[in-house]
Amino acid sequence: MINHWKKAGFSVPEIYDRVIPDVDEPYLVLSCIEGMPLREYLSTDTFPIDEKLQTLERLFNEMRERHKLAVRNDDYWLVHYDPSPTNVICSVGQFWYVDFEAKPKYPSVMEAAGTELLTLCKWIVRDLGIEFLDRVMGIVATSYRGQEPLLRLLVKRTSGRPFQFFHRWRDSKRKLSNPRAATKYDIANAIEKLL
Ligand SMILES: Nc1ncnc2c1ncn2[C@@H]1O[C@H](COP(=O)(O)OP(=O)(O)O)[C@@H](O)[C@H]1O
Ligand SMILES: [Mg+2]
């Protein structure tokens, strides 16, 4: 996946063919990216919010291009299966992606990509603050203009699942125990409002 992302023009660490003595587990030797994990950047108060939102706009635009390519080529390997602000490293004007995981089963690339977007948004809103939910999702809606089928599918997969009463009840319990965390229903509802 690292080589595949690199070929497609996305920034990933270099892979080195190195032997590290005395390590029994399987391992991968990568270049060290100089930068700050997106999580740290979003949750640190010293950076102004407008700058953070501009950074997110760049991130979502890059993600839209990757998802467009993935859907067009039916390419499951251009989707990140452990999306999290800890797995994106920011350096000047660039995003680096780490922590690639095996692909779970999805009925389509578009569903896999939609799930990546939903999950990343959930963690981004948690890191930035739940009060920025609508502004972040507004940026997502603008960035994904032209890719509405992906957004609609993401909403359908979340809000159209059977046994909604049960999922929503579990979701409200989750929110009671952690009122500042965004859940996937917060994200899907916000997108639905914007579509
Ligand atoms: N090549 C790299 N360069 C710089 N930092 C990295 C690199 N790979 C991983 N990291 C940092 O280390 C953290 C943990 O590595 P990761 O591959 O995500 O493992 P885990 O499965 O434990 O999440 C990442 O969140 C990232 O901040
Ligand atoms: Mg990780």
DSSP string, 102-128: -----S-HHHHHHHHHHHHHHHHHHHH
Residue 89 lies in a domain: yes
Given ligand 1 and candidates 14, 36, 89, which is best to mutate, with the most ligand atoms within 8 Å of its CB?
89
- Among protein residues, the one whose CA lies closest to atom 18 of ligand 1: 99
Ligand 1 within 6 A of CB of 37: yes
Q: How far apart are CA 164 and CA 90, in angstroms?
A: 37
Over residues 141-150, the pLDDT tens digits come to 999 999 999 9
Helix residue spans in 46-147 (DSSP H): 49-72, 109-128, 133-143
For range 104-116, the mean pLDDT: 96
φ, ψ of residue 83 to 5 degrees: the values are -70, 130
Residue span of the structural domain in which 133 resides: 35-194
- Does residue 186 surpass a pLDDT of 90? yes
Residue 20 lies in a domain: no
Ligand 1 within 6 A of CB of 86: yes
Residue 81 has what pLDDT? 98
Q: What's the pLDDT band for 20 if we cut at 50, 70, 90?
A: very high
Residue 52 lies in a domain: yes
- Among protein residues, the one whose CA lies closest to atom 2 of ligand 1: 32
Residue 17 lies in a domain: no
Residue 163 has what pLDDT? 73
Atom in ligand 1 nearest the alpha carbon of residue 84: 25
Domain count, the chain: 1
Residue 174 has what pLDDT? 82
Over residues 113-123, the pLDDT tens digits come to 999 999 999 99
Please tell me the pTM assigned to this model.
0.94
Q: Ligand 1 centroid to 87 CA: how many Å?
A: 6
Residue 4 lies in a domain: no
What are the CA-CA distances from residue 165 to residues 38, 94, 160 (Å)? 34, 42, 11
Q: How far apart are CA 180 and CA 22, in angstroms?
A: 44
Q: What's the pLDDT band for 63 if we cut at 50, 70, 90?
A: very high
